[in-house]
């Protein structure tokens, strides 16, 4: 039997929409069961990510839990579907969410993608839009101007990327339940980016912590014992994943031009679940290809803009790890800006030794 899912009209702001048709080679699956808004959507177009309600069987036959991303109009949905189905995306492997096809209901169309948060008891997610600039030549003028203004406000040319948002979950009961304890949006990212590398590293140091004790932190209490985990995340897999992403960009994906795309940093926020599963399982996933192209029309050896974003993110994470070193926290407000600026500058200069 076909995998069937239905979207309630109440969940679709603005009612029925006219959307671009799916590519001719796509066999879209008609959806017929309820979907709800995904509770952990971090950034992007508002109310554009859906999931199956808890307890209902609308997951893929392959066993992966799916999310459903609303198809974008004006050719962007077809471009994103084409990217996920390309040989370059296949070469990227697990750096991208698994693509499960196209799903439709009446005039609504969705990309069916692996829900990369589903493997965590208490998922923590940070959305980072990579690149010194998020626009590209030949794009619509109004969109370019909008993106350029955001890039300037967040000092993306200096930092290499911008923070788009974060969602932090923590354990809510002994039975393994979880709840969202902190939700940070684009204003958080804008305020961090306005302070350059120092502000971004400080923001990462604050959000990349264990869940235990986060309420005490927010209430001004004792704080989280052992809660500073950036180095644990880096050594536990993030460094390796960032290196793999750069290797793909300069190798199998060197003809791709990845504009206005994000990487998600994910990890386990429940300390007990992390202990039981051998660690926080840090992960990195590249998403959002509505403005990306599989085949470049320039003479660059690879996407230097996007690679600068990868290196900028690594240097900011390294600087955040320095901020979380024992004994430094009590002096953070007085010294963090100088420390972060110096650490980020050194890491950036070292990365720049590798010619673009």
**Could you give the C-alpha distances from 275 to 49, 178, 213, 348, in angstroms and in order?**
30, 16, 16, 34
Taking the mean position of all CA atoms in its chain, how far away is CA 254?
21
What does the pLDDT read at residue 346? 53
CB distance 81 to 22 below 8 Å: yes
What does the pLDDT read at residue 52? 77
CA angle in degrees (0–180, nearest 5) for 206-244-287: 65
- Which residue has 């992403």 as its token pair? 245
CA 190 – CA 153 distance, rounded (Å): 7
Run means of pLDDT, 10 residues per run, the chain, 356 residues:
33 30 50 78 88 65 77 95 96 96 84 94 96 96 97 97 95 76 94 97 90 39 54 96 98 97 96 91 97 94 98 97 71 50 56 49
Q: The sheet that has 262-268: what strands, in order across it? A: 178-184, 161-171, 123-130, 262-268, 283-287
* Tokens, residue 76: 């962007």
* DSSP summary character for residue 287: E
What does the pLDDT read at residue 63? 56
What does the pLDDT read at residue 15? 29
* 36-37 and 49-51 strand pairing: antiparallel
CB distance 83 to 286 below 8 Å: no
What does the pLDDT read at residue 59? 53
* Tokens, residue 208: 């990349």
Q: Is the pTM of this model over 0.85?
A: no
What does the pLDDT read at residue 292? 97
* DSSP summary character for residue 155: T
What does the pLDDT read at residue 6? 35
- Which residue has 């959002």 as its token pair? 288
Nearest CA to 267 among 320, 316, 209, 311? 209
């Amino acid at each position: 039997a076909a995998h069937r899912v239905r979207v309630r009209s109440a969940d679709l702001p603005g009612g029925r929409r006219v959307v671009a048709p799916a590519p001719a080679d796509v066999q879209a699956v008609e959806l017929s069961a309820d979907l709800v808004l995904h509770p952990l959507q971090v950034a992007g177009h508002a109310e554009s990510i859906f999931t199956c309600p808890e307890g209902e069987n609308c997951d893929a036959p392959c066993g992966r839990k799916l999310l459903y991303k609303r198809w974008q109009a004006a050719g962007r949905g077809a471009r994103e579907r084409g990217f996920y189905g390309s040989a370059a995306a296949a070469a990227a492997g697990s750096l991208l969410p698994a693509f499960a096809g196209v799903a439709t209901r009446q005039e609504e169309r969705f990309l069916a993608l692996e829900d990369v948060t589903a493997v965590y008891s208490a998922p923590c997610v940070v959305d980072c839009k990579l690149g010194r600039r998020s626009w590209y030549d030949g794009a619509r003028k109004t969109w370019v101007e909008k993106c350029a203004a955001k890039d300037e406000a967040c000092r993306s040319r200096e930092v290499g990327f911008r923070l788009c948002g974060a969602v932090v979950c923590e354990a809510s009961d002994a039975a393994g339940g979880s709840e969202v304890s902190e939700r940070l949006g684009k204003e958080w990212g804008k305020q961090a980016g306005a302070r350059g590398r120092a502000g971004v590293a400080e923001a990462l140091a604050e959000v990349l912590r264990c869940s235990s004790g986060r309420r005490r932190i927010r209430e001004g209490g004792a704080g989280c014992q052992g809660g500073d985990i950036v180095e644990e995340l880096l050594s536990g897999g993030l460094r390796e994943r960032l290196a793999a992403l750069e290797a793909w960009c300069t190798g199998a994906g060197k003809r791709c031009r990845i504009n206005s795309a994000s990487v998600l940093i994910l990890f386990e926020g429940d300390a007990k679940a992390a202990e039981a599963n051998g660690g926080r399982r840090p992960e990195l996933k590249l998403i959002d290809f509505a403005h990306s192209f599989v085949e470049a029309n320039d003479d660059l050896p690879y996407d230097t803009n996007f690679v600068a974003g990868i290196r900028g993110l690594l240097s900011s994470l390294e600087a955040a790890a320095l901020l979380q070193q024992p004994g430094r926290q009590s002096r953070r407000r007085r010294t963090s800006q100088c420390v972060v600026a110096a650490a980020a500058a050194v890491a950036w200069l070292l990365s720049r030794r590798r010619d673009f």
